[in-house]
Structures are given as structure tokens and as C-alpha cells.
Amino acid sequence: AIVAGCASSDPAVSANSAANSPANSPAGVGSKPAAVTLVTHNSFSVDPKVLADFEVANNLTVTVLAQDALANQLVLTKDNPLGDVSYGIDNTFASRAVQAGVFSPYTSPLLPMGSDKYAFDADNSLTAVDFGDVCVNVDHAWFSAKGLAEPTSLEDLIKPEYKNLLVGQSAATSSTGLAFLLATIGHSGVDGWQKYWTALKANGIKIEADWESSYNVDFSGSSGKGDRPLVVSYGSSPPAEAPPGAATAPTGIVAGTCFRQVEYVGVLAGAKNPQAAHKVVDFMLSPEFQAGLPQQMYVYPVDKATTLPADWVKFAQAPADTIALDPVLISKDRDVWIQDWSDLVEG
């Protein structure tokens, strides 16, 4: 009751609060909007107008709960879930939550719009909404100034000419760090990645615990003007570095190093309002929501038909061949990998 009460007082999120006139309410539902709670991560963002339209159209009040460490929270609270529907869990953590029985399957009628390509499982426990890549980013200016060719693959990164140029993150504490580890595992195989990392380490990779520090301080292509021209970051980072109106971004991605992260939405088992939860899933696959994803959250919409913003077209073409890893495999071995990685690289 407290949740709903507070939510309805805030126009930014529950735009429907004032719009409960009979004219706006579908017949038979009654004038009072139903409440639905969306549990998501701290980076969740939606155009308030788009959300308001959705609420009015469906006579719903959406309460957004943004939480750190989403996967773990969902698992911990599965007996008395925080809300009805959750967005934001990704393929590195999804299977853990699904196995714990956090989600109740739902097949959206809008699936064919492209989401099926990233389907998590046959039951549709989760529905893919968007994806992004974690890639090595490169500072173009640095390489051209040095007259050195930019690396193009993971293999390049262990070559002597690229010694001491890369900064990454700890797989144990950072999600980009983990994604990059998974990329190397996808590339070198479950047996070969340790050899690759040994070489990477010998070639002077610098590891920070967090993305913020490595990108903002060590990377030469960011405003921090650090001394490393290669950084493990998001595929969507380069547009953010382009000054307004620039024709090219000062940074780019090393296409062969990308690991694809898919973000899902799912209906929480034990939802108080599953119907509304289903509507939220549908909403996230809707063209209106999908179109806002690049601007709002720096990710690619799963719906191929979505038109990307101009600077994305210019700077941030999604790499064609990304490294992918079976979520089930990830879920099974991730902890061991992290442990081994930690022993190998940090220990």
C-alpha cells in the first residue's frame, strides 16, 4: 500500500495518477488504475512521456523500483517478490535467477518483432529487450599519432607492439570485466582462455577494479586523457565521446573483441498482477519503447525495425560478429572461471 501510495504522488513516473478520468479508462476496468511494479537496475531509464502514454492506455500505474545487484535481489526475494515484472537481468546472470525460479514464463505476442532471435529458453522465462556489446575501445588519435595500426582482434592484444596499452577491469568486481573474460573464453575456449590471459598479463594489461576508474582515468581517449589507448568498455561508448556535431568519433571499437550482453524482461513468479506484468513485457517490445533504448540506455533494441538515432548510425554500428556464450554454460562455470581468473591475474 505504501508503494502504490507513494508512486501515485509522483508525476514523473506515474503519469496516470491525474489521468484517471472515465474517458481514458477502457470500459469495464473501472476508473482506478491498477498498480504494477517494475523491478529494474539503476541504469533503467525511459522517456516519461512514453511511459505515461502506456499507463493511460492500459489504465495502469507503473512503479519503478531500481535496485543494485538486481539478480541477487531477485533471487533473495523470490518468495515475496519486490514487484510484478523485472527488466534488466542479462545473459551473464540470467540462468541463475531462472534456475532459482524467479520468473514465470510468458510468451509475448510481440515476440516475432526480433526478440526471438535472442530467446533465453524455449519457455520464454525471459524475453530479450535489448543488447549491447562490451568491446575493447580504441583511441584513434593515439594510434595515428604513433603511426601504429590499431588492433583488430583479441589475438592482436597479446602482440608485443601492443604491450602496456590495454586497461581492463577485474572480472570479480566489474560487469565489463566479467564480460571481457567471457569474450576471451568464447574466443579461446574453456580450456584455452587461461593461456590467453597469461599472455595478456605478460603483455602488460592493466586491471582496475571498476570501469569508472579505468575508463575515466587510464584511457587516453576519454576526458581523463590517461596513458592507455585501449580500454575494455561498451560498444556504445564511442558516440558519447563525439563532440556535438562532429563527423567522426575520436574513439572506436575493436570489432573482434566484443562480447554481446543481452538484457531481458521477465514476469516475476508470485506477481500480484501478472496481467499487468504481461502488458509491461509487451510494452518493452513495443516500437515506442524500443525506439527510445539507444538514447535512454545506450543499448541496441532487439527490434531490427527500429530506426537508430543519427549519431548511432554514424558512430556505433553494432559489430556483426560478436562473441557469444551459452547462458547455461555461463551459469554453470562462471564462479569457477572468476575464481581461476582472479587467481591467475590478481593473485
Partner 1 sequence: MNDKPPLRAHPEDRVGKLLRRMGLVLAALIPLGIFAAFFFYPVVALVGRGLVGPGGGGPTGIDLTGFADVVGRPRFFKVAWFTLWQAAVSAGLSVLLGIPGAHLLYRRSFRGRSALRALVTIPFVLPTVVVGLAFRTLFASSGPLGSWGLDGTVWAILLAQVFLNYAVVVRTVGTTWAQLDQRPEEAAQALGASPTRAFLTITLPALGPAIAAAGTLVFLFCATSFGIMVVLGGGKFNSLETEIFRQTTQMLDLRTASVLSIVQILLVGTVLGIAARIRHRTESTLRLQSHVGAKPRVSAADWPVVLVTGVVVALLVAPMVTLLGRSLHTETGWGFGNFDALASTGDSQLLIVSGWTALGNSASAAAIAAALAITLGVLLSMVLARKPRQAAARRSLTVLDGFFMLPLGVSAATVGFGFLIALDKPPLDFRGSALLVPIAQAMVATPLVVRMILPVLRATDDRLRQAAGMLGASPVRVWLTVDLPIMSRALAGATAFAFAVALGEFGATSFVARPERITLPILIGRLISRPGAGNLGMACAAAIILAAVCAGAVFLVDRSVGARRGAAGIGAF
Measured CA distances, 32 to 6, 96, 208, 279 (Å): 16, 37, 51, 17
287 grid coordinates? 516500437
Q: 123 or 335, CB closer to partner 1?
A: 335
Residue number with CB closer to partner 1 (66 or 119): 66
Q: Pick from 8, 25, 33, 44 the residue near partner 1 by CB under 8 A.
A: 44
| Nearest alpha-carbon partner for 318 in 330, 306, 335, 336 | 306
Site for partner 1 in 59-118 (CB under 8 A): 63-69, 71-73, 75-77, 80, 82, 93, 96
Reported as half-sphere exposure (CB side, CA atoms, 13 A), residue 68 has a value of 1
In terms of DSSP bridges, do strands 166-169 and 206-208 run parallel, antiparallel, or are they unpaired?
Answer: parallel
Q: Does 3 bind partner 1 (CB under 8 A)?
A: yes
Closest contact distance (angstroms) between CB of 216 and partner 1 is 6
Instruction: Report yes or no: 75 and 49 within 8 Å, Cβ to Cβ.
Output: no
Q: Among 130, 133, 139, 218, which residue sits at the site for partner 1 (rule: CB under 8 A)?
A: 218
How many residues bind partner 1 (CB under 8 A)? The answer is 69
Q: Select from 56, 119, 199, 209 the one that contacts partner 1 (CB under 8 A).
A: 209
175, three cell numbers: 560487469
* Contact stretch for partner 1 (CB under 8 A) within 4-12, 22-30, 253-261, 300-308: 4-12
Binding of residue 12 to partner 1 (CB under 8 A)? yes
Q: Does 21 bind partner 1 (CB under 8 A)?
A: no
Instruction: Please choose, out of 2-10, 20-28, 185-193, 310-318, the segment that lies near partner 1 by the rule CB under 8 A.
Output: 2-10
Provide DSSP, 159-193. Answer: SGGGTT-EEEE-TTT-HHHHHHHHHHHHHHHHHHH
Rounded CA separation 281/209 (Å): 34
The 109-148 site mask, x for binding partner 1 (CB under 8 A), equals ----------------------------------------
Contact status: 319 vs partner 1 (CB under 8 A): no
323-342 positions binding partner 1, by CB under 8 A: 335, 338
Which part of the chain contacts partner 1 (CB under 8 A), choosing from 5-13, 143-151, 181-189, 275-283?
Answer: 5-13
SS3 62: strand
Kindly tell me which residue out of 95, 170, 261, 322 binds partner 1, with binding defined by CB under 8 A.
Answer: 170
Alpha helices in the chain (DSSP H): 2-7, 48-58, 70-76, 94-99, 140-146, 175-202, 211-213, 237-241, 274-285, 287-297, 310-315, 327-341
Residues 6+ apart with CB under 8 A from 104: 125, 266, 267, 268, 269, 270, 271, 274
Nearest to 184 by CA among 216, 232, 118: 232
CB of 223 to partner 1, least distance (A): 4
3-state secondary structure at position 10: coil
- Quote the CA–CA distance of 4 and 237 in Å, as a whole number: 36
Q: Which residues bind partner 1 (CB under 8 A)?
A: 1-3, 6, 10, 12-13, 37, 42-45, 47-48, 63-69, 71-73, 75-77, 80, 82, 93, 96, 169-170, 172-173, 178, 207-213, 215-218, 222-227, 233-234, 236-237, 240-241, 243-244, 292, 295-296, 298, 335, 338, 346-347
